[in-house]
Structure 1
Amino acid sequence: MCGIVGFVSQKTGKKEIVTDMMDMIRHRGPNSSGDYTDEDVALGFRRLSIIDLEGGSQPIFNEDGTKVIIFNGEIYNFQPIREELIAKGHVFTTHADTEVLLHGYEEYGTAILDKVRGMFAFAIWDTEKKELFGARDFFGIKPYYYAEMNGTFMFGSEIKSFLKHPDFKKELNEKAIKPYMTFQYSALDETFFKNVYRIPEGHYFTYKDGKLDIQQYWDPKFKEKDISLEKTVDKIDDVVIDAIKTHQISDVKVGSFLSSGVDSSYVTAVLRPDHSFSIGFGDRSYNESHEAKALSEKLGLNNTSKVVTGEEAFEYFPLIQYHLDEPDSNPSCVPLYFLSKLASKDVTVVLSGEGADELFAGYQAYGFNSSSKAVRVFAEGLKKLPKGMRFSLSRGIKKMPNFKGKMHLYSSLAPAEDFFIGQAEVFGEQEADEYLTEPYRKSETVKEIVDKQYRKVQDATEIKKMQYLDIHQWMPKDILLKADKLSMANSIELRVPFLDKEVMSVAEEVPSKYLLNDKNTKYAFRQAAHRHLPAEWANREKLGFPVPIKDWLRDEIYYKQVREMFSQDFVSQFFNQEKIIQLLDDNFNEKNNERRKIWTIYTFLVWYDVFFIREDLPQPEIRTNFASMEEIPVG
């Protein structure tokens, strides 16, 4: 919807500073801007108009002007809450969902967060108490950063806005690099910018008299129920249909992203939008848009799909990393950026399928690692053993020589804490040390990072432990971050109906045996999707966004581009330069197949070059000729 910036400070010149900060995120809100300043605070807002197109400009004040709000997101159930607040005597000046948060906070305090359904990052300034109150949504769909520097507390939707504040000191967080080498994203609570942190998902904060207080207001509570498969599927389908309907609320056009997978296909089949969008990379093995086009034809829907070339991907890559604020080597960042760019030509809002894998156990890493039906059936039988016996058996299996189905048996029986760190594991910790220079080898260990979450769900099943970890680590710090940043980079709003607290309340109760079993991942969810989709789509194996980095890094043109970056003088500050060049050369010469490691190093170097080497940051207005992209023929 928008972007917010702000700071609390006694210093003068607030109007000029907050304007400069807003300009850094104008891509988040190209329609209009607004600000509020007084002797204590500055609030800035960039608007992408979606609801109440004429009257929803911010900041918005309460009746007596003592409270003012800036808000990024959508409150999908704002209308009944609005009516409730009007009945209690509150006077509304707009029809926007923003104002519900403001009057709701007046009426209910922090309890307003228990009432709303949506995605949000907002700040409310109380001019009488001189207190700032803010919150981030349940799952962390919307980003929210803060920093305390030189007597100033600053906050906002994107870190890049802080660069324009005179009190901001730009420094690299040396401890962020080593975990990134393993996780592929910024894995710590502190970001890649030293002393810049995130407001965690499901938390609110207050800032008063120089003191910041952050409190959790929501968290998934797994309470598995003994219900039948049929009832489970009914509940999933009912709540998904309701969530998709709820997420359609808009005064502008709504479309959907469509890949070959079940998640986006389920959304599109229920939504039935006028526009759906797909992206590919030419070769069929990297091109899900062929299947997306086929599904749209079966459903009688329009689909627009484009091919991205390697040349375009590499040309845009610095801009992509600029928009992300922190390095993220998830290859899907590239197609997601171009997909958002494609959709922005026709719609302002898109629905997408993020979150279904985490809520309903769609990842093979949760324990679906064998293609052998016999191995999977055998593993399901072993799962019925007492916990202590299962864990002991897993330790024995781990010590055995490799055999077909070993990983599946081990991951089916072992404690989640023993093997699962999330959906990406690029470099092992010891291996990362071999590539990094000494100053960058010190950080929290991988175990310390993941144990923060595992400690909270010790009594849950192993599958639900893994889901919980992904919900708090992989999802907000990678999946949702890139979804928000790369859609807003193209001035469109991406909505994720599966990440709805009502959907979560159903997912919490699904028996583990209906999440993942010997038949498939996301088993009950797929049964629900099959009510709207052909079986081929409902049961299709998850691919994510297939990206041809393997081909790129063995294409002389792109290999040379990466090698040129690896050879820059600044690189030796972070890496054993000879070793990373050898890694790249051996991959090019087909002596290894380490594309993910190379891409992870390359991503960090591109990001660092953008934010710390270049004199001028990339400008979002810079575009290549997108119209030159080849359109995929129908059929």
Structure 2
Amino acid sequence: MCGITGIFDTRGFDEISRELLHRMNESQFHRGPDEGGLHLEPGVGLGHRRLSIIDLSSGQQPLFNEDGSVVVVFNGEIYNFQELVPELEALGHIFRTHSDTEVIVHAWEAWGEACVARFRGMFAFALWDRNLETLFVVRDRFGVKPLYYAFLDTGEFIFGSELKSLMVHPSLARDIDPLAVEEYFAYGYVPEPRTIFKRACKLPPGFTLTIKRGQARALPKQYWDMPFTPVAVTDEASAMDELVERMQESIRLRMIADVPLGAFLSGGVDSSAVVAMMATQSAAPVNTCSIGFDDPAFNEIEFAQKVADRYKTNHHIETVASNDFSLVDKLAGVYDEPYADSSALPTYRVCELARKHVKVALSGDGGDEHFAGYRRYRWFRYEERMRAVMPLALRRPLFGALGKLYPKADWAPKVFRAKTTFEALARDTVEGYFHGISLLSDAQRRQLFSPAFKRELQGYQAVEVLRRHAAVAPTDDPLSLVQYLDIKTYLVGDILTKVDRASMAHALEVREPLLDHELMGWVSGLPVDLKLRGTEGKYLLKKSMEPYLPHDVLYRKKMGFSVPLAAWFRGPLAVTIRGVVLGERLASTGLFNQDFLREVVETHQSGRRDYSVILWTVLMFDAFLGQVLGVDETERQAA
């Protein structure tokens, strides 16, 4: 796991500033504190920070082919590199290291752009071919590893593992993209390919970017997408056996390391399954790490302990206090963009704990999206069945009116919150799903934004992100469609971003065996009834894990990795949140309706409504302004 960065003069051979490239590289020191390297030649500069995991003695980067004409900087792991080496050696290539990085340069020489299809792993890399005068930039299929880039007015193309690397370059304009602001307040993050800045982009998962000297611009090209190719299942038992075999293979590949390795163990199904599969393939006890909470409503530690006891793991636990909000400002600097998933707090802590004991940790990320584990999938299926009964032309006015008339009932169990259901039924499939997952509803965002900012948006709505992906989705099944939408948005923009930044802040490599593209390509084609059966999500995964895990770990109610925001904003953070939300810094942006912000604070703190999600989302936007953009606030007004 590493950090990469670079500058490419697309117009010619202008000298790249070593000092600038060095500063861009060092901004990502935390991603690779073991070693750093730069390569400069006319018009090209590549930088690398290394976290040594495999071939500790000779895997330094930038890394070259035999004659030095091809050079790569690489972040991630190619898990099948050992299989590719003999094939490339048979083609005449000579290997000087035992690292997976060297496979990339020789694969490029052998197969060109098609080389990326041969790689199995998590990766982001940039490869320069001097003979072809070509820069080839790649991101892995699920976006486990990040990659930001920008085409500058100077004719330079710049890239980096984190946005902070690009921000070092003086020619990158920091104008905030109003569409990104709209998307952030809907999703809680800025979805790919947009960033918070107009001039910077994220390379989408499963895409490459090829730039030739003399070419001022280039468009990303997709090399992989989730197949959803139907899988023939003869019987449930054989599907269970095949799933276990595929999971064991994926985990075995990700247990290769020359440094101490372990796993996160939350007590949920996915991380518990990963630990169980690790334990069945390891002669030594597995290292496991868990974070507990001193608030029982958020604590899953007893379930993690059951799995740890069953497999006699070297289990490490730390308890996070329910008032552990000291990281709020720090998180803004970790994520670079506005980021509103409050579980980033405990994720940061579990990475901090894991790094005390291991350098590589396996996680269960991706299980909910691929096996239909989120509760929202059950509600979506219920709503979709109702939508199928009546055409949209009739549903929209009928349920739209009911949604307006029915009172809001956040305090009630979900089954009684008919207002939200009516509002969803008044929409089409994609719009209905968007309504269900949005942090702030369309109506709340309209209230939040100032009239001037709404004019700047020119009618743009964040639902267009989902519509864009739905238009090219390789499936017609409604449940598979929304899983696909989550894979393209929530998984990469929220979950994987959270884990990458939190782990890299502690120089910890995290591997996601449930995001193996061969495993999940197969899972995507399974009948949906094996993923969501009745009200039971992850049906096949849970059935296949019954011999390996306790029943109450598999079938208890999903808890999630949450923090008590509502109580914070009425208690220990009451003064802070009022000062931020009603402060001068947010007001000075001109983006927000100050009357609505005041109403949200007062209503929440009076206990009449739970507006903690809105308040947290606004708080993290303010932290971005202060920590990342350095916007000063001369006075905080708590009027």
Distance 1:76 1:264 in 2: 20
User: 1:435: which partner in 2?
Assistant: 448
1:592-613 CA deviation, whole Å, 9 max, x = no partner? 1111111111111111111123
User: 1:190: which partner in 2?
Assistant: 194
Q: 1:612–1:404: structure 2 CA closer, same or farther, 3 Å change rule?
A: closer
Distance 1:357 1:392 in 2: 30
Distance 2:120 2:185 in 1: 35
Q: What SS does the corresponding residue of 1:291 show, helix, strand or coil? A: helix
Within 5 A, what are the aligned runs for 1:404-443?
416-421=429-434, 424-441=437-454, 442-443=456-457
Aligned amino acid, residue 496 of structure 1:
E
How many angstroms does 1:348 deviate by? 0.6
User: 2:559: which partner in 1?
Assistant: 543
Once the two structures are overlaid, the 10-residue window that deviates more, 166-175 or 239-248, is 166-175
Q: What SS does the corresponding residue of 1:280 show, helix, strand or coil? A: strand
Indicate the percent of aligned positions where both proteins have the same amino acid.
33
Q: Matched residue pairs, number?
A: 603
1:192-248 CA deviation, whole Å, 9 max, x = no partner? 022100111001111112232321000011123352322222222211111111111
Which of 510, 518, 537 does residue 502 from structure 1 map onto?
518
User: 1:613: which partner in 2?
Assistant: 630
RMSD value, Cα = 2.6
Which of 58, 63, 88 does residue 60 from structure 1 map onto?
63
User: 1:177: which partner in 2?
Assistant: 181
Once the two structures are overlaid, the 10-residue window that deviates more, 145-154 or 223-232, is 223-232
Assess if the C-alpha contact under 8 Å between 2:149 and 2:202 holds in 1. Answer: yes
Aligned amino acid, residue 261 of structure 2:
V
Q: Does 1:5 align with 2:13?
A: no
Distance 2:511 2:343 in 1: 17
User: 1:625: which partner in 2?
Assistant: none
Distance 2:483 2:394 in 1: 20
How many angstroms does 1:614 deviate by? 5.2
How many angstroms does 1:536 deviate by? 1.0
Q: Does 1:145 align with 2:161?
A: no
Which of 282, 299, 302 does residue 290 from structure 1 map onto?
302
Q: What SS does the corresponding residue of 1:124 show, helix, strand or coil? A: strand
Distance 1:184 1:267 in 2: 28
Assess if the C-alpha contact under 8 Å between 2:231 and 2:522 holds in 1. Answer: no
How many angstroms does 1:390 deviate by? 7.2
Q: Does 1:559 align with 2:574?
A: yes
User: 1:456: which partner in 2?
Assistant: 472
Distance 1:88 1:391 in 2: 60
Q: 1:307–1:393: structure 2 CA closer, same or farther, 3 Å change rule?
A: farther
Assess if the C-alpha contact under 8 Å between 2:323 and 2:568 holds in 1. Answer: no
Aligned amino acid, residue 565 of structure 1:
V
Assess if the C-alpha contact under 8 Å between 1:416 and 1:466 holds in 2. Answer: no
Distance 2:220 2:611 in 1: 41
Which of 220, 223, 235 does residue 226 from structure 2 map onto?
220
Within 5 A, what are the aligned runs for 1:233-244?
233-244=240-251
How many angstroms does 1:290 deviate by? 3.1
Once the two structures are overlaid, the 10-residue window that deviates more, 565-574 or 70-79, is 565-574
Distance 1:239 1:13 in 2: 46
Once the two structures are overlaid, the 10-residue window that deviates more, 105-114 or 419-428, is 419-428
1:313-362 CA deviation, whole Å, 9 max, x = no partner? 2x222211211121111111111011101111111100001101111111
1:559-591 CA deviation, whole Å, 9 max, x = no partner? 111222223212112222343133123212212
Distance 2:148 2:246 in 1: 31
Which of 290, 296, 300 does residue 312 from structure 2 map onto?
300
How many angstroms does 1:479 deviate by? 0.9
Assess if the C-alpha contact under 8 Å between 1:202 and 1:218 holds in 2. Answer: yes
User: 2:637: which partner in 1?
Assistant: none
Q: What SS does the corresponding residue of 1:420 show, helix, strand or coil? A: helix
Q: 1:390–1:86: structure 2 CA closer, same or farther, 3 Å change rule?
A: farther
How many angstroms does 1:433 deviate by? 1.9
Which of 485, 490, 495 does residue 501 from structure 2 map onto?
485
Once the two structures are overlaid, the 10-residue window that deviates more, 251-260 or 161-170, is 161-170
Assess if the C-alpha contact under 8 Å between 2:6 and 2:45 holds in 1. Answer: yes
User: 1:71: which partner in 2?
Assistant: 74
Q: What SS does the corresponding residue of 2:472 show, helix, strand or coil? A: helix
TM-score by length of 1: 0.89
Distance 1:520 1:439 in 2: 46
Q: 1:422–1:579: structure 2 CA closer, same or farther, 3 Å change rule?
A: closer
Once the two structures are overlaid, the 10-residue window that deviates more, 509-518 or 574-583, is 574-583
Distance 2:238 2:425 in 1: 26
Assess if the C-alpha contact under 8 Å between 2:192 and 2:203 holds in 1. Answer: no
* Gapped regions of structure 1 (runs ≥ 5): 370-375, 617-635
TM-score by length of 2: 0.89
Distance 2:540 2:422 in 1: 22
User: 2:605: which partner in 1?
Assistant: 588
Q: What SS does the corresponding residue of 2:186 show, helix, strand or coil? A: helix
Distance 2:624 2:481 in 1: 33
Distance 1:435 1:389 in 2: 35
Q: 1:615–1:13: structure 2 CA closer, same or farther, 3 Å change rule?
A: farther
Distance 2:423 2:84 in 1: 49
Distance 2:74 2:278 in 1: 26
Distance 2:365 2:611 in 1: 27
User: 1:211: which partner in 2?
Assistant: 217
Distance 1:422 1:346 in 2: 42
Q: What SS does the corresponding residue of 2:537 show, helix, strand or coil? A: coil
Q: What SS does the corresponding residue of 1:367 show, helix, strand or coil? A: helix
Once the two structures are overlaid, the 10-residue window that deviates more, 166-175 or 322-331, is 166-175
Aligned amino acid, residue 263 of structure 1:
D
Distance 1:352 1:494 in 2: 7
How many angstroms does 1:15 deviate by? 1.1
Q: What SS does the corresponding residue of 2:127 show, helix, strand or coil? A: strand
Q: 1:459–1:214: structure 2 CA closer, same or farther, 3 Å change rule?
A: closer
Distance 1:413 1:168 in 2: 43
Q: 1:339–1:122: structure 2 CA closer, same or farther, 3 Å change rule?
A: same
User: 1:372: which partner in 2?
Assistant: none
Q: Does 1:323 align with 2:323?
A: no
User: 2:361: which partner in 1?
Assistant: 350
Q: Does 1:129 align with 2:132?
A: yes
Which of 329, 346, 351 does residue 335 from structure 1 map onto?
346
Assess if the C-alpha contact under 8 Å between 1:185 and 1:328 holds in 2. Answer: yes
Q: 1:92–1:413: structure 2 CA closer, same or farther, 3 Å change rule?
A: farther
Assess if the C-alpha contact under 8 Å between 1:351 and 1:496 holds in 2. Answer: yes
Distance 1:234 1:411 in 2: 38
Q: 1:514–1:23: structure 2 CA closer, same or farther, 3 Å change rule?
A: same
Once the two structures are overlaid, the 10-residue window that deviates more, 45-54 or 79-88, is 79-88
Assess if the C-alpha contact under 8 Å between 1:276 and 1:304 holds in 2. Answer: yes
How many angstroms does 1:119 deviate by? 0.4
Distance 2:612 2:530 in 1: 35
Distance 1:453 1:231 in 2: 33
User: 1:603: which partner in 2?
Assistant: 620
Distance 2:595 2:468 in 1: 36
